Amino acid sequence: MKIMLANFAKMVNDSGGLAKVTVAFANEMVRRGHDVSLLYCDGHQGDFFYPLDAKVRAYNLCWQKGRYIQVPWWMKLKREFLRPFSPVMSRDVNDQFMQKYLLGEVRRLLELEQPEIIVSSQPAASRLLLCDIAVEIPVISMSHGDPEDYFHIYPKGEIPAIEKSAACQVLLPSFVDHIKSRFPEQKVVVIGNVVPQYDVTADLQADKDRHKIIFIGRLVKNHKRPHLLIKAFVKLANRFPDWELELWGAESNKAYTKSLQHMIEKNGLQSRIHLKGVTRDVAGVLREGDIFVLPSAYEGFGLSLAEAMSMGLPVIGYKNCPAVNELIKHEENGLLCEDGVDALAEALQRLMDTKELRVQYGAQAKKSVEQYAAENVWGDWEKLLSQMVKQHKL
């Protein structure tokens, strides 16, 4: 098959989940013998954080004929003016930029590549393809989060592209109805993210001088919320002097990172709470852990959480967090608690207190993510792609 991936987001040196999934998808389809091209939109040129197979033809829509096509100053001003009042209208400015400045390049690349099927990473890309260009090629629209958000915080002009898609992919079963309730006839397929299946897992039975709580995720205040985990650990630090907290992930805002560091220093815990930055060895980091915590307000899947589970770590998250509350089965493979610092501290204390509970939950956590093994996920994707291509040719 000739497959085109349309991820109209940054890719250069981006360590985020969307970039990771995009590269993994492209590389795997090439490995399976398919012809793959990738469209992305980045203000920088250079290597991707996750290595891309040389056989994948990647095109940066923001660099045309050696020139950077950037959002004009007046669009930036309009977007920032609208952001506090209407995030939906602010997002729509980005769509207007793509329609005005990128549409022609997308048309050219479609003519050049002649894909049999397109996999779109976001509604904005699906809108450009299905509504603005009106391609006849089947487009599968991926969801990297809860698709319920499409109908509340995404531009209204993107919604018709969901219905026009040949199929919509969602990450978890609970997300299916969020599309089907609006478009009952739409084909919606559940395909989760690939989760590495680790052969060597964390040794929770070992006698240790120091135990570790691990967090992996971007340091984002209103999304991943690592400050809540730091505050919860502060409450327990004196009671558990042999425990440390490691927070791994890229900085999103310097002021927020400084506030985290100040919180650590204010409580005199510089030797026990560590902001570690980005890692390319997620498995190595997780293997040294004893508990994994993801205090997010929302998730589309929670890949770092799932990887921690595959490493055999007991996990903690908030019961009101989408995706997290589906991966974590309370008191089976981890703990779900009410939102807030105090409830998180109580959940942490339960696991820090009892090795047997950590071992029990950790073993069950590993079993519960076996369904997301690479051969299962990529097999489901290949089957869906093939089915859509065959239907289109009938």
Distances (CA, A) of 294 to 5, 37, 304, 305, 386: 29, 34, 8, 7, 36
Q: Who contacts 107 (Cβ-Cβ below 8 Å, separation ≥6)?
A: 133
Q: How many residues does the chain have?
A: 394
Which residue in this structure is represented by tokens 């995404």?
154
Residue 48 has pLDDT above 90, yes or no: yes
pLDDT at 75: 92
* Rounded percentage of the chain residues whose pLDDT exceeds 90: 91
Tell me which residue has tokens 């120091």. 210
Tens digit of each residue's pLDDT (9 = 90 or more) over 203-254: 999 989 999 999 999 999 999 999 999 999 999 999 999 999 999 999 989 9
Does the pLDDT at position 308 exceed 90? yes
CB 119 within 8 A of CB 25: yes
Average pLDDT over residues 245-271: 95
Per-residue model confidence (pLDDT) at position 145: 86
For residue 393, pLDDT over 90 is answered with: no
Distance separating alpha carbons of residues 84 and 64, to the nearest angstrom: 32
- Segment 172-183 shows an average pLDDT of 94
Mean of pLDDT values over 187-193: 95
At 327, the pLDDT band (50, 70, 90 cuts) reads very high
pLDDT for residue 186: 96
| pLDDT beyond 90 at 300 | no
What per-residue confidence (pLDDT) applies to 142? 96
Class for domain 2-194+373-393, per CATH?
alpha beta
Domain boundaries, the chain: 2-194+373-393, 211-371
Checking if the pLDDT of 15 tops 90, the result is: no
Question: Over the Cα atoms of the chain, what is R_g?
Answer: 22
pLDDT at 16 (0 to 100): 82
**pLDDT for the residue numbered 369:** 96
pTM, to two decimals: 0.84
User: In the chain, how long is the greatest CA-to-CA distance?
Assistant: 68
**Burial class of residue 205 in the structure, from the number of CB atoms within 10 Å of its CB (0-12 exposed, 13-18 middle, 19+ buried):** exposed
Q: What is the separation of C-alpha 391 from the centre of its chain, rounded to a whole number of angstroms?
A: 30
Reported as a single tens digit per residue, the pLDDT across 84-99 is: 888 899 999 999 999 9
Ordered alpha helix ranges (H), the chain? 17-31, 73-82, 87-97, 103-113, 123-127, 150-153, 159-164, 176-180, 226-236, 254-266, 282-287, 303-310, 324-327, 341-353, 355-368, 374-393
Average pLDDT over residues 352-359: 96
What is the average pLDDT value for the chain, to the nearest integer? 95
Mean per-residue pLDDT for 31-36?
Answer: 98
Domains 2-194+373-393 and 211-371 share a fold: yes
Q: CATH topology for 211-371?
A: Rossmann fold (3.40.50)
User: What is the mean pLDDT of the segment spanning 187-215?
Assistant: 95
